[in-house]
Structure 1
Amino acid sequence: MGLVTKLMADKKPSAPLPEGLHPVSESDPTAKALGFHQDAKQTDFILYPERKEPGSKNQFCKHCAQFTKINESWGKCNIISSGVVSTEGWCSAWSQRT
């Protein structure tokens, strides 16, 4: 199953993928190095055990300082620039928006 199809099957986005843009592939070298997933629930908790801690429950791309919202479901990341990221995504570069 393709990434977009899987995302659509797992959770119906509230806004469509922006026209002409594609989601960041989780196999993108930068995304892979940062443990990025379009769905934060798919985080490798063995590699990133801090993601399971109660204080990290709101760590999603939509709350990250590196995220710029495009619509309710998608945005651009200043670090992973090969496409758009889901508002419900996560990577190890996450930092609280101030």
Structure 2
Amino acid sequence: MKTSRRSFLITSIGVATTVALSRQAFADMPKASESDPTAQALGYKADATKVDKAKFAKYVAGQSCSNCSFYQGKATDAWAPCPMFGGKQVAGKGWCSAYNKKA
């Protein structure tokens, strides 16, 4: 099957627009706050270095949302959605007790 240049360009523009719109929707998602009830229940901290190690003995230095299997962004993203927080974004440098190392 041959694809014309015109069909290719129209398809490419459609894909690029969809990607741009989904990135905008991602950017508009609310960010999880440490004061949210879910965040408090999971011990979420936007800065993993501030985790209370006495209260959350499971925490190990180097763990962060960005290297957790639940983090739905790239490891380099500052914020990304997390299913543990109802789709709200969590800080890549954050941590919570649901942490599960990404494979």
User: TM above 0.5, one fold?
Assistant: yes
| Match runs of 1:31-42 below 5 Å | 31-42=39-50
CA distance in 1, matches of 2:101, 2:38: 20
Gap regions ≥5 residues in structure 2: 1-25
Gap regions ≥5 residues in structure 1: 1-17
Cα shift at 1:82 = 5.5
Q: Which has the larger radius of gyration?
A: 2
Partner SS, residue 43 of structure 2: coil
TM value normalised by structure 2: 0.65
| Match runs of 1:17-96 below 5 Å | 19-51=27-59, 56-69=60-73, 72-81=77-86, 83-96=88-101
Cα shift at 1:23 = 1.6
State whether residues 38 and 85 of structure 1, in contact with CA within 8 Å, keep that contact through their aligned partners in structure 2. Answer: yes
RMSD: 1.8
* Structure with greater helix share of residues: 2
What count of residue pairs does the alignment treat as equivalent?
Answer: 77
State whether residues 36 and 90 of structure 1, in contact with CA within 8 Å, keep that contact through their aligned partners in structure 2. Answer: yes
Partner SS, residue 79 of structure 1: helix
